[in-house]
Amino acid sequence: MMKKGIHPQMFDITITCACGATFQTKSTRKDYSVDICSRCHPFFTGREKLVDTAGRIEKFTRKYKLQKEGRREG
């Protein structure tokens, strides 16, 4: 038997992805949105979609190119 009055209230909510997909679930939070879901995430879809944060991909590409040529960026 659960104690009364100590559990958070549960809501039927809708989660909305940036790609437009929506999901129905239950949560203690009200409706909210996410950036990537299982419909648009490259791991689940098999499509390569690079999500670049603060130019990390370009920085890696530049560094790898310089190392391949035998030079290092200082």
Averages of pLDDT over each 10 residues, the chain, 74 residues:
83 88 89 80 62 70 72 54
Global pTM value? 0.47
- DSSP 8-class letter at 19: T
User: What is the topology classification, in CATH, of domain 11-68?
Assistant: Rhinovirus 14, subunit 4 (4.10.80)
- CB-side exposure of 45: number of CA atoms within 13 Å? 12
SS3 8: coil
Distance CA(15)–CA(13), nearest Å, equals 7
pLDDT at 68: 65
Domain boundaries, the chain: 11-68
